[in-house]
Structure 1
Amino acid sequence: MMALLLTLIALFMLQVGVSLAGFQLKGDGLERTFKREGEDVLLTCGVDRSSPQCAELKWLYRRHEADDNSPIEQISFEGNVNQSLPRASRLSVTSNCSLLIRNLHSEDAGLYGCAWIRFLYILTISSSPSDVAERVDLTCSLKSFRELDDCSPGRLIWVDETGTELSGKNAEFEVNPHKQCVSVLTVKRPSGNSKKFTCKFVEDDQVMIDLVYILTE
């Protein structure tokens, strides 16, 4: 995994003509940020606006679905957001050159770079009618960067209102994990009271982020 992350950094920086010198790793890998769709996130850059470095720094972004030939998006320059971006109204650069993204969308997931390099992970749940009568599919997705879509070394799990992990298939539900970081829970539509299901991303028995979905009749 570490070799893959370093390769991604190199590709990310080389495409915009930026040297890896001055870009920093945190701990034994890149900084990772986990957020839910609809939340806000503040990605720190680690410098002060009064520093000469700040005016020279750019926020760069590579989207989740990007392939090797996709262009890098320049979010900011000279401390200001690129107003030509479709999501410019949700972006701002703070006094210490950090990047604030409001009302996160799933397509905001991806690779971000400033003085630190980080991956932004966004957890979402969507619902749709199942192929089986009187059932509904709840799809939980954790998006970050295309090459990391296998979820390794973590996994997505579903739990019910009692905190019991749901797995396999029975008369009440069916769990279908995908190769990508996606898990589909198929459940009966409730008749009367609503039901609560929680999707969790777990690494080494630690919950990195979770999201609750309340299913009504």
Structure 2
Amino acid sequence: MSLLELFLIFVLQFEAGVSGVLPLYQVPGHDVTLPCASASSSDTTCSMVSWLYNRDRSQTFSEVLNGNVLKSSARAARLSLDTSCSLVLNDITAEDAGRYTCWQGRNTDQDVHIHLSVLTLSPSPPDADPKRDGEVTLECSLLRYRGSCQQNSIRWVNETGTVLLGEGVGYKFLGQMNCVSVLTVKRQSGHNRRYACQFVNMENNVEIEADYTPVFTDSRDWSPLNNFMLALRIAGLILMIVITVLVIRARGEEIQTIIW
């Protein structure tokens, strides 16, 4: 580790306070651009810019040093800098939540601090049989740099925008614990509905949401192979009926011949 990296980590670890924090919210699988608004427009190589990452206050990691993505970074393959020295993070995961700092020199007044929060929605069981009715438990979590979540800041709504509380037709709200909220929904043939988990701020404005639509595959929606097998069975049944009729007719003719 270079002396510059050690210095950056020292500054971040013992920083007295953070001002001008920019909050960003995303869901897994998307791309996000973390702006470095104060970067000099003349520094097209971003040679004076470094990016650091904190999952919490205990550890600081260097992601970009003097305009170059560090190969030692766990997310190096998904990181890049654009022409404004903003950090581009592709295909984000829940583990990418945390604080990102654009460091542009020893004058910390120019630093840009970004708190990236990631909202995840996970069904349980994840491999529920799509051909059967049943219940699925949805867990919605907001991963963030620090701080807890206000009660009722993570809420559930249906396709009409109605907030789901308590217990109703096809759902049961199990409550919120810190930054985790749980809802149980019923999957029923012909009644697929859309549910969304939303994180709202203190002004009750939606910052980010994640959607879930129960998938129910009707048992009648067979594959071409199933249709072919069904056709073979029907053909076999018809053949058996024809053979039976012919046998009965032949026996009938044989009996008439004996009588005459």
Q: TM-score, normalised by structure 2?
A: 0.66
Deviations 1:18-69 (A, max 9, x none): 2799x9733xxx2100111111110011213634994233211012xx4x54
Match of 1:126 in 2: 122
CA RMSD of aligned residues (A): 2.9
Alignment: residue pair count: 193
Deviations 1:89-116 (A, max 9, x none): 1110122211000111011011111121
Structure number having the greater strand percentage: 1
Q: 1:154 to 1:41 in 2, by over 3 A?
A: farther
SS of aligned partner of 1:45: coil
Contact 1:157/1:201, CA 8 A, preserved across alignment: yes
Match of 1:139 in 2: 139
Counterpart-to-counterpart distance in 2, 1:154 and 1:175: 12
Q: 1:54 to 1:154 in 2, by over 3 A?
A: farther
Q: CA deviation at 1:172?
A: 2.6
Counterpart-to-counterpart distance in 2, 1:176 and 1:153: 13
Contact 1:190/1:216, CA 8 A, preserved across alignment: no
Task: Give the unaligned 5+ runs of structure 1.
Answer: 1-12
- Percent of aligned pairs with the same amino acid: 35
Match of 1:9 in 2: none
- 1:43 matched to 2:34? The reply is yes
Counterpart-to-counterpart distance in 1, 2:176 and 2:152: 13
Structure number having the greater helix percentage: 2
Counterpart-to-counterpart distance in 2, 1:153 and 1:168: 15
Contact 1:41/1:100, CA 8 A, preserved across alignment: yes
Q: CA deviation at 1:177?
A: 2.9
AA aligned to 2:9 is V
Q: TM-score, normalised by structure 1?
A: 0.78
Task: Give the unaligned 5+ runs of structure 2.
Answer: 1-5, 103-110, 127-132, 217-260
Contact 1:176/1:183, CA 8 A, preserved across alignment: yes
Counterpart-to-counterpart distance in 1, 2:44 and 2:91: 31
AA aligned to 2:170 is E
